[in-house]
Amino acid sequence: MVKVDTSLSFWDIAAIVIYFIVIMFAGIYPSLRSARGTVSGYFLAGRSANWILTGCSIFSSDIGSAHFVGVAGTAAVAGIAVAGFDLNAIFVLVILGWLFVPVYIASGVYTMPEYLKQRFGGRRIQLYLSCLVLIIYVTIKTSSDLFAGAIFIKQSIQISLYPAIGLLLLVSAVYTMIGGLTAVIWTDTVQTVIMLAGSITLMVISFVDIGGYDNMVSLYMKAIPSPNVTLHNFSNCAGVPRSDSMSLLRSADPDVGDLPWTGMTFGLTVSAVWYFCTDQVLVQRVLAAKNFSQAKGGCLFAGVLKILPLFLLVFPGMIARIKYTDEIACTDPKVCEEVCGSKTGCSNIAYPLLVMRLLPKGLRGVMLACMLSALMSSITAVYNSASTIFTMDIWKLIRKNASEVEQLIVGKLFVVVIVVVSILWIPIINAFPSSQLFNYTQSVTSYLSPPVCAVYIAAIFIPRVNEPGAFWALMSGLVIGMARFILEISYSAPLCDEDDTRPFIISKVNYLHFGLFLFVVSLLICITVSFLTPPIPKESLIRLTFQTRNSKSERVPLEKQDVRVPKAAVDEPARTGIKKVIFTVCGLEKGKVRERTTSEVDRIQAQHVSLSEERKWKIFLDVFAVLIVGLAIFLYVYYR
């Protein structure tokens, strides 16, 4: 293994220090000027974000440190097909802005489980999805990003993992607790700029060093490690570059296709619709937009940014393989374990090696700040969304008459709980070999998301679907998905020099194909059970389905709504001690505390559920949506 001086210079350290100062300022200052003392102000940024802030926040929340490490590493092993995950998102983001967001805005909800409660009634679906989402956030989203961050820290800074990750978690929690979604959106925007600046710099230097794009393509196909073992498990091994390395659309044959075009076209779309159109982390950013046009504009801007990973992560990952072939493309388990501590491969160190060995001192600090941006943006997104779901969907079930003050305090304190759980999770993350962890997170997502995706699509576009249908679709999908997942973790993935003796359902059925199958089964169960049980009254579906999104009629709730009587203004005693600190952090004004009257709530709600658009902006957004989709199709055709 090549020995390279990876010590940080004064300018590297200065760049990291400046980064932390800028992020803290960007997170706290805007939030102090916002209406963070209200539920809408804290959880939805007062619904005041423009299209730039919305788009940057979507992009930054999605592109975490796991993206840098995982995408670049997969590209180093198998070429550009992994870019399909980001390009597919362009189509799905248009679906989000034009089909899903109108219903979410019209319904006036804060969270996705809350939408399903309004749509179907009852509590079991809302409670189940709330708990499921919180588990996914802690065990998958947070763990994958923390693990990727740990890989980068080990390869670059080479300091102890625990204090480094702990510091990042605490800094992220501080400005999330103080400013809520306003702080998260502003820091996401700053972090997007930092990520783009750093990754563009590395991409340019990488292409210059390798001699340009054509040279990269030629040299990549020759990047074979020495010595090389006999490859029994070709599709998962890095030894010999794939003949279809420069193709986005690959064979559907399970024996030769690692990312089959059928799975990447249909199965991936199912997971992407769940992730971008129904997951709280991403949808919450869109709901924070000041109006419908700004929300659609934010989706399109995020779509434009999703083109960039092909150039900023995929191609640099391939260049890393060319430059450090014996390490990144190792196939001998003993060699791999010596290089990165994992017998199953070392592709995950591709991007960190490129940063620490190709960049001069000084620029390393900029790229470290870039990686910290990716890690912290994803973590803060989880913090804010998790606190929103816990407060609005779980705590309000426990405390139906909770005041705004109580909801804000609970939401902020739950961030502390998430931080503690995340820190306690670090030893578990550190115990997983890199490839096993990424397979684990990928599998869990694929096996849990299709039933949820099916239920949301049915809820929005099929008025006849009811609560029993949705519930049994979720339960059946959970059982089927977990059965496949249990089978997968029961059989270890073969090493490069081993034959694949796993059962057919694991070795020959790609997880994307299984996800599509699970989606179809869940959707059929949802529709079948719904048609066998009584329908939901039409007057209770107003502004809760795509067909009724523009209705001006009054909705009749499926269940009696809990209405609190507004409290009269009272003089509050002077706050001291812990109470004063808590109220200051929550942004609550000192003095009179008054709950909003029913008429005030109705007026604010009417502003937030409007789907009105200026004609010129509507036409402009529609045309731009067609252009961005056309650009994505062009890339698929060019790299077919």
* Domain assignments of the chain as residue spans, ordered by start: 10-560+597-638
CA–chain centroid gap for 413, Å, is 23
| pLDDT tier, 178 (very low <50, low <70, confident <90, very high otherwise) | low
pLDDT tier, 2 (very low <50, low <70, confident <90, very high otherwise): very low
With 80 as the cut, is the pLDDT of residue 578 above it? no
Provide the percentage of residues in the chain whose pLDDT is more than 90.
33
The reported pLDDT for the residue numbered 415 is 78
Q: Read off the pLDDT of residues 543-564 as tens digits, 9 standing for 90 and up.
A: 999 999 999 888 898 876 544 4
Predicted confidence band of residue 580 (pLDDT cuts 50, 70, 90): low
pLDDT at 601 over 50: no
Q: How many whole angstroms separate alpha carbon 522 and alpha carbon 471?
A: 10
Looking at residue 248, its pLDDT comes to 93
In the chain, what is the straight-line distance between the N-terminal and C-terminal CA atoms, in Å? 36
For residue 140, the 8-state DSSP code is I
The H or E element that residue 255 is part of is none
Q: What is the Cα–Cα distance from 200 to 592, expressed in whole angstroms?
A: 51
CB neighbour burial string for 139-148, b if at least 16 within 10 angstroms, e if fewer: bbbbbbbbbb
If 0-12 CB within 10 Å is exposed, 13-18 middle and 19+ buried, where does residue 610 land? exposed
Tell me the mean pLDDT in the region 193-220.
93
Mean of pLDDT over the chain = 80
Over residues 502-511, mean pLDDT: 83
Q: What local confidence, expressed as pLDDT, does residue 612 receive?
A: 84
Give the integer Cα–Cα distance in Å for 168 and 546: 41
How far, in Å, CA of 275 to CA of 58, rounded?
A: 11
* pLDDT value at residue 266: 93
Range with the lowest mean pLDDT among 2-16, 45-59, 353-367, 468-482?
2-16
C-beta atoms surrounding 564 within 10 Å:
11
Is residue 259 over pLDDT 50? yes
Top-confidence range, 503-512, 574-583, 597-606 = 503-512
Backbone phi, psi, residue 119, to 5°: -70, -45
Of 395 and 306, more confident: 306
What average pLDDT does this structure show over 439-455? 81
Nearest one of 344, 300, 230, 370 to 59, comparing CA atoms: 300
Span 484-500, mean pLDDT?
A: 74
Q: Report, as an integer, the average pLDDT of 604-619.
A: 75
> Quick one: pLDDT at residue 532?
96
Whether 219 shows a pLDDT value over 50: the answer reads: yes
Could you give the angle at which helices 467-490 and 511-531 cross, rounded to 10 degrees? 150
Of 111-115, 470-474, 479-483, the one with minimum mean pLDDT is 111-115
- The whole-number average pLDDT for the span 377-382 is 74
Task: Give pLDDT, residue 52.
Answer: 93
User: How do residues 222-255 score in pLDDT, each as one tens digit?
Assistant: 998 876 555 555 555 667 888 899 999 988 877 6
Question: Of all helices (H) and strands (E), which one includes residue 36?
Answer: none
Q: How confident is the model at residue 530, as a pLDDT? A: 97
Whether the pLDDT of residue 455 is over 80: the answer is: yes
For residue 307, pLDDT over 50 is answered with yes
Q: Report in angstroms the alpha-carbon separations of 514 from 73, 209, 236, 505.
A: 24, 41, 18, 9
- Taking each helix axis from N to C end, the angle separating 143-155 and 161-210, rounded to the nearest 10 degrees, works out to 70
Secondary structure class of 260 (helix, strand, coil)? strand
Higher pLDDT, 411 or 376: 411
Specify the residue for token string 């209770």: 540
Q: Which tens digit of pLDDT belongs to each residue from 318-337?
A: 999 999 998 898 887 788 87
- What pLDDT score does 255 carry? 65
Q: Give pLDDT, residue 570.
A: 43
Q: For residue 453, give the amino acid letter.
A: C
- At residue 595, the pLDDT reads 47
Q: How far, in Å, CA of 384 to CA of 415, rounded? A: 7
Q: Which residue has the higher pLDDT, 375 or 604?
A: 375
CB-CB contact of 168 with 333 (8 Å): no
Mean pLDDT value across residues 528-533? 96
Q: Are 24 and 175 spatial neighbours (Cβ–Cβ below 8 Å)? A: yes
Q: Specify the pLDDT at position 491.
A: 77
Asked if the model's pLDDT at residue 440 lies above 70, the reply is no
The pLDDT confidence band at residue 412, using thresholds 50, 70 and 90, is confident
What is the b/e burial string over 189-225, where b = at least 16 CB atoms within 10 angstroms of the residue's CB? Answer: bbbbebbbebbebbbebbbeebeeeeebeebbbebeb
Which of 3.90.550.10, 1.10.357.10, 3.40.50.740, 1.20.1730.10 would CATH assign to domain 10-560+597-638? 1.20.1730.10
* Alpha-carbon gap, residue 493 to 330, rounded angstroms: 16
In angstroms, what CA-CA distances link 389 with 109, 144, 399, 526? 11, 21, 14, 24
Provide the whole-model pTM: 0.84
List pLDDT tens digits, range 334-348.
Answer: 888 788 777 777 888
Please give the Cα distance from 157 to 571 (Å, whole number). 54
* Residue predicted with more confidence, 569 or 176: 176
Q: Please report which residue ranges of 33-81 form alpha helices under DSSP H.
A: 39-43, 51-62, 65-78
How much is the pLDDT for 591?
43
Across the strands, what pairs with 593?
570
Amino acid 285: pLDDT: 85
More confident residue, 183 or 612: 612
Q: Which residue has the higher pLDDT, 6 or 418?
A: 418
Q: For 371-406, give the DSSP string.
A: HHHHHHHHHHHHHHHHHHHIIIIIIHHH-TT--HHH
Confidence of residue 527 (pLDDT cuts 50, 70, 90): very high
Residues in Cβ contact with 70 at an 8 Å cutoff, skipping those fewer than 6 apart: 144, 148, 348, 438
Whether the per-residue pLDDT at 304 is higher than 70: the answer is yes
Rounded-to-integer distance, Cα 424 and Cα 559, Å: 40
Q: Are 35 and 43 in contact (CB under 8 A)?
A: no
Round the CA-based radius of gyration of the chain to a whole number and report it: 25
143-152, 339-348, 356-365, 452-461 — most confident range: 452-461
In this predicted structure, the answer to whether residue 511 has a pLDDT above a threshold of 60 is yes
